[in-house]
């Protein structure tokens, strides 16, 4: 790209010098330059013949600049989404930390209460519930003490259960806190990579364009609007998936209730059994027919795509490693996608941003196993039924996740 842009800049300068020999150029914008070129077309015929070798490149100058502008918007959008993801994760960590601290305080308080209870029982000699019965003066006294023992036992049991529940809550919160911190660390790594690439691109553009500041300001505006649009689209997808999951749960509950009612009717033994079997058979056929008519989420596509998805899932549980490309010893998100596709003899770029431009774009509703989903600094492989497999974080490694766990920028089909 750098060599191509250098050639284009040389061409622009070369054309501008010769153009000024024919007609003064007062244009300051791309559209005005193109208009001047149209007006001077006849005057430049002779010059164009002399530089016929550059004719194709000259015709592509406007398109090249538009392409670079689009790249600028895309990169800035990625930065926006990653920064928002980091901000969101930082808020989650603060909340989880507060929940964790509160749970630890509760656990410590319960533990101290249990210690006081045990100490009290020891000092009072109340170390054995059975001893209370031996000291009973009568059956009535024994029954009273039995009720007392039962109340003591229930109280101690509840204390222990509450303490155990709090211990489990503390462990779960600690695990979640560590996972969130790991996700934050990975997002920060992805942001640093993306920012380094963006800074390099912007530095080149600043040298190439006189109106760089204007272009950058416009690109930031467009990136902000595009970021909002992407977030809205992902939110809509999530909503539809939740509605579908709820509908499936209701359908399963309905079928379960009908099955239980059918079994209850059979157990009653009332009515004609053969008619009941026939009716049940008819209903089962209706259920099968209904299931066949319902649209199912995409879980199949090209055989090669399915092979890629199946192969990718084999490495679930293996480690994440920043900068890595090994499916066994560790890979980062783009390294994982690169290695999986490389296994099938398909060459992909190494960075996540470059992978976001491979193949052709497809919509989420048309996504098939083997497609690459790009989230802005992060990529994963779609495996069907609303899931991806990806190199997630150092803590979680390669794992499966919901395809909409982050805002989707683009989905690319390579095979």
Query: Annotated active-site positions, please?
Result: 333, 378, 390
**C-alpha to C-alpha distance for 354 and 335, rounded to whole angstroms:** 12
- For 189, the token pair is 């790594």
Cα angle 63-347-78, degrees, rounded to a multiple of 5: 50
- For 294, the token pair is 């319902």
End-to-end C-alpha distance for the chain, whole angstroms: 26
Are 170 and 97 in contact by the 8 Å Cβ rule? The answer is no
**Look-up of token digits 């379960």:** 256
Are 399 and 389 in contact by the 8 Å Cβ rule? The answer is yes
Helix axes 212-268, 273-293, angle to 10 degrees: 170
Q: Which long-range contacts (CB under 8 A, 24 or more apart) does 204-210 make?
A: 204/2, 204/5, 205/68, 205/72, 208/5, 208/9
- Sign, CA torsion 32/38/39/42: positive
Beta bridge partners of 410: 374
The stretches of 351-392 forming alpha helices (DSSP H) are: 352-355
- Sign, CA torsion 409/410/411/415: negative
- For 375, the token pair is 């989230």
Please give the C-alpha separations between residue 317 and each of 190, 301, 330, 398, 402, in angstroms, as whole numbers: 21, 25, 10, 5, 16
**C-alpha to C-alpha distance for 90 and 344, rounded to whole angstroms:** 39
Q: Which residue, among 128, 86, 364, has the nearest Cα to 241 in the 3D structure?
A: 364
- For 62, the token pair is 């406007």
- Sign, CA torsion 367/293/400/184: positive
């Amino acid at each position: 790209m750098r060599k191509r842009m250098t050639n284009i800049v040389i061409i622009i300068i070369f054309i501008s010098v010769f153009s000024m020999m024919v007609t003064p150029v007062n244009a300051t914008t791309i559209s005005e330059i193109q208009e001047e070129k149209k007006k001077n077309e006849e005057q430049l015929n002779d010059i164009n013949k002399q530089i016929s070798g550059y004719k194709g490149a000259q015709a592509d100058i406007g398109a090249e600049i538009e392409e670079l502008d689009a790249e600028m918007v895309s990169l800035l959008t990625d930065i926006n989404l990653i920064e928002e993801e980091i901000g969101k994760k930082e808020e989650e960590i603060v909340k989880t930390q507060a929940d964790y601290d509160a749970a630890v305080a509760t656990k410590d308080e319960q533990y101290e209460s249990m210690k006081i209870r045990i100490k009290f029982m020891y000092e009072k000699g109340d170390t054995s519930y059975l001893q209370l019965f031996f000291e009973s003066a009568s059956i009535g006294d024994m029954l009273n003490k039995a009720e007392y023992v039962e109340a003591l036992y229930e109280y101690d049991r509840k204390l222990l259960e509450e303490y155990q529940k709090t211990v489990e809550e503390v462990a779960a919160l600690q695990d979640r806190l560590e996972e969130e911190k790991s996700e934050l660390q990975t997002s920060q790594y992805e942001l640093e990579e993306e920012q380094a690439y963006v800074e390099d691109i912007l530095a080149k553009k600043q040298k190439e364009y006189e109106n760089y500041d204007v272009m950058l300001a416009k690109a930031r505006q467009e990136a902000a609007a595009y970021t909002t649009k992407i977030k809205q689209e992902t939110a809509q997808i999530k909503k539809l998936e939740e509605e579908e999951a709820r509908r499936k749960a209701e359908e399963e509950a309905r079928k379960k209730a009908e099955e239980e009612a059918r079994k209850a009717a059979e157990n009653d033994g009332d009515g004609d059994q053969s008619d009941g079997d026939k009716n049940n058979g008819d209903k089962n056929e209706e259920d099968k027919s209904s299931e066949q008519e319902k649209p199912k989420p995409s879980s199949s596509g090209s055989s090669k795509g399915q092979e890629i998805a199946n192969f990718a899932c084999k490495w679930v549980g293996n480690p994440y490693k920043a900068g890595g490309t090994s499916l066994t010893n560790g890979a980062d998100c783009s390294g994982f996608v690169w290695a999986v596709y490389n296994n099938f003899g398909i060459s992909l770029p190494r960075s996540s941003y470059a992978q976001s431009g491979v193949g052709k774009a497809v919509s989420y509703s048309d996504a098939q196993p083997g497609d690459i989903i790009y989230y802005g600094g992060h990529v994963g492989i779609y495996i069907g039924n609303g899931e991806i497999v990806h190199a997630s974080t150092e803590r979680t490694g390669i794992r499966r996740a919901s395809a909409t766990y982050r805002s989707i920028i683009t989905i690319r089909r390579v095979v």
